[in-house]
Every structure is written in structure tokens, then in C-alpha cells.
Amino acid sequence: MWVAVGWGSCEPTTERDVDLPGLLESKRAAIAERWTDLALRVYPQDSSGFIKREKDRFRNPVGHVTRASLGTLLDGLLEGRSAEEMAVALDEIVRIRAVQDLSPGTALGFVFLLKRAVREELDEATTRGSSIDFSPLDGAIDQLALHAFNRFVEQREKIYDLRVREFKRSASRLLERLEEI
């Protein structure tokens, strides 16, 4: 039986406890779909419809990267990989969201939406009276969110540095023109 690295023991302790890793694995596709749907809701309704429907990676790079990255991140969490090991997938989605006109909370909220997606999917799959200890998964998602925040800040810093350099270049050209006059 799979036990995610860093999650500690996720084995059921009573017959009413649920095997979280096994349940997550069995509901992986539904969780990924729900997470993607929730993550794409940050976009305006006219855009989000296109982003959700269009599967072509060239016509819809945002939708493609979002679906692929979230799937990879979910797989990484299910396999117990660290946030550092999932950096490439995280960077892809964070880079896109860093250049968009989104607040940091809105841009990075997709990480926390995984908690909602998991609970909604598992709520439908579990029976009454069974208990699920989500704390190991929540901790892994929180670590991923912290890593995402660091990456987001790095990307925003790069954007601001580029803007400052472009402003300086423009001001320098303007001063050169003024000196010519």
C-alpha cells in the first residue's frame, strides 16, 4: 500500500477510518478534473469557457498548462514528492499567473483549491460515520502553497526588474534626443 513520503502514517486505525491514500488514488481523475475547474474560475466567464473547452495547446496555452501542471502536481502529491521535486510543474502555472493582472491571493489560490476539490470528491465517495484525517494531505498542500508563493514573488520581481530596465532605457533615449536638440 502506498504511503506518501512526508505524510507520516496514513493507515486507517479503526474500521471507521478511511484509507486516504488509497481513496485519493482511486478518485485521482475526478479530483484532477474538479481542481482544474475550480482553478480556472478565476478568469472572466467569457474567457474561462474557452479555456475550459479548448484543448489545443497552441490555441489555448493557459488551459493546456493549467491542466497539465495541476495533473502533475496532483500526481506528485499522491506519490509523496516534495514541493522542490514538483518545481517545474509549479513554475509553469505560476509564471503564467504572475504576468496576468491577478492579485497574489487570486493567482495562488489554485493551490488551496485542491483541498476543496479533494473534500468535495471524497465526500461523495465516503460513507456516513467514516472519518478521514486530512491533516497529512493539508500539510503537503500548505507546503506546496509556500513554495508557489516563493516562485510567484520571484517571477513578479523579474517582471518589475524588466519594467524598470525598460523605463531606464526609454528615459535614456529621451535624454539623448533632448541633448541633440
Residue 3 is predicted with a pLDDT of: 36
Element (H, E) at 7: none
Residue 65 is predicted with a pLDDT of: 94
Q: Please say whether the beta carbons of 107 and 165 come within 8 A.
A: no
Residues of the chain with pLDDT under 70: 1-17, 124-129
For residue 44, what is its C-alpha cell? 472572466
For residue 94, what is its C-alpha cell? 505560476
Instruction: For cell 489555448, name the residue.
Output: 60
List CB contacts of 126: < 8 A, sequence separation 6 or more: 18, 23, 132
Residue 152 is predicted with a pLDDT of: 96
Element (H, E) at 139: helix 135-180
Rounded Cα gap, residues 26 and 34, in angstroms = 14
**What percent of the chain has pLDDT above 70?**
86
Residue 11 is predicted with a pLDDT of: 53
Biggest alpha carbon–alpha carbon distance for the chain? 86
Residue 176 is predicted with a pLDDT of: 84
Helix axes 45-53, 61-78, angle to 10 degrees: 70
DSSP structural state of residue 131: B
